[in-house]
Amino acid sequence: MAIVTLLESIRSAMYEELNRDSDIVILGEDIGRRGGVFLATDGFIDEFGPNRVIDTPLAESSIVGIALGAALNGIRPIAEIQFADFIWPAINQIVGEASKVHYGTFGQLNAPMVIRTPFGGGVKGGLYHSQSIEVIFSHTPGLKVVLPSTPYDAKGLLKSAIRDENPVIFLEHKHTYRSVKGEVPDSDYTIPIGKADVKLEGNDLTIISYGLMVHYCIQVANSMKKEGVNLEVIDLRSLRPLDIQTIVESVQKTGKCLVVQEDTQAYGIGAEVASSIAELAFEYLDGPVKRLSGPEVPPMPFSPSLENEFMLNEEKIEKSVRDLLDY
């Protein structure tokens, strides 16, 4: 059992899978000779060669289109989009094509492919390196959307994504790459896609979140525990499929729920969680399901002071928790 960063766990998962299955290839901008912009694939090309670690042009539609074509012909590609903000040129290949393969062929064809991409703010990335894109793909049937927050979850979920028979969007919050560390087993393991994880148990209020925000929620829960307040923190881990059962069981126990997301609020993951609770656990609620989200502005601000205002933090989360507890 080693203590590693989230980025190291992702690198380890890909390395082990490349060794396990010769049909797996990686492709993307600068992922070969340069080892990727975050060095997730550093040294891979020397060990596995340029036929399995493939540098591509700066053309996201081609990266995903080639990956889909390869997946339809017996290869298991891992396509890297350098930053989530640049995934939009590939929207037709993902939403218009890859998501429809299995359904459109009445189950005769599969598209076993993973699209990895770093997303999220808090890193002074400005308008084009900070975007949250999860809700677009979570709305699309035929895709799975995975978003780990810990090294243990990242490795196990990435292995599951690589072994899945159909497309998986694997989102990695870049702020967690090197700031989050945790224990990861040396042995091979997977984590089921579509299963949330209760990070902390409590009975006073449920906090539901994902990605970087999970860590802020845990810090708030640990701080308020000193006051005798016991918060339950759920890490969704998978946004599609969404683990409704774990959510409902928690709300049935606590009676109150706060959903925390870095993304803007309208039409978001929080809305889906809130509506599911209203449909399936309304009679257990002691207050409204509340959402805490980023402000409704198009991009992440470039100014550090404005970015700090945009980003959620422990103070904002704690205030929302206290307001809901007092309801």
Check whether residue 172 and residue 36 sit in a common domain. Answer: yes
Check whether residue 74 and residue 155 sit in a common domain. Answer: yes
For β-strands 197-200 and 231-235, DSSP reports them as antiparallel
Average pLDDT of the chain is: 97
Query: Which of 184, 210, 239 represents a domain boundary (last residue)?
Result: 184
Query: Which of 134, 152, 184 represents a domain boundary (last residue)?
Result: 184
pLDDT score for 300: 85
Question: Is pLDDT of 125 > 90?
Answer: no
The C-alpha atoms of residue 200 and residue 204 are separated, in whole angstroms, by: 12
Tell me the CATH number at 73: 3.40.50.970
Active site residues: 129
Full domain range(s) for residue 100 = 2-184
Look at residue 276 and tell me if it is in a domain: yes
What average pLDDT score do residues 148-152 get?
99
Check whether residue 135 and residue 205 sit in a common domain. Answer: no
- Whole-structure pTM value: 0.97
138 neighbors 194 (Cβ within 8 angstroms): no
Question: What's the domain count of the chain?
Answer: 2
pLDDT score for 188: 97
Tell me the CATH number at 227: 3.40.50.920
Check whether residue 126 and residue 227 sit in a common domain. Answer: no
The C-alpha atoms of residue 314 and residue 289 are separated, in whole angstroms, by: 19
Check whether residue 248 and residue 161 sit in a common domain. Answer: no
Question: Is pLDDT of 124 > 90?
Answer: no
269-300 confidence digits (pLDDT tens): 999 999 999 999 999 999 999 999 999 988 88
- Cα–Cα distances in Å, from 289 out to 78, 123, 224, 234, 320? 37, 30, 20, 15, 11
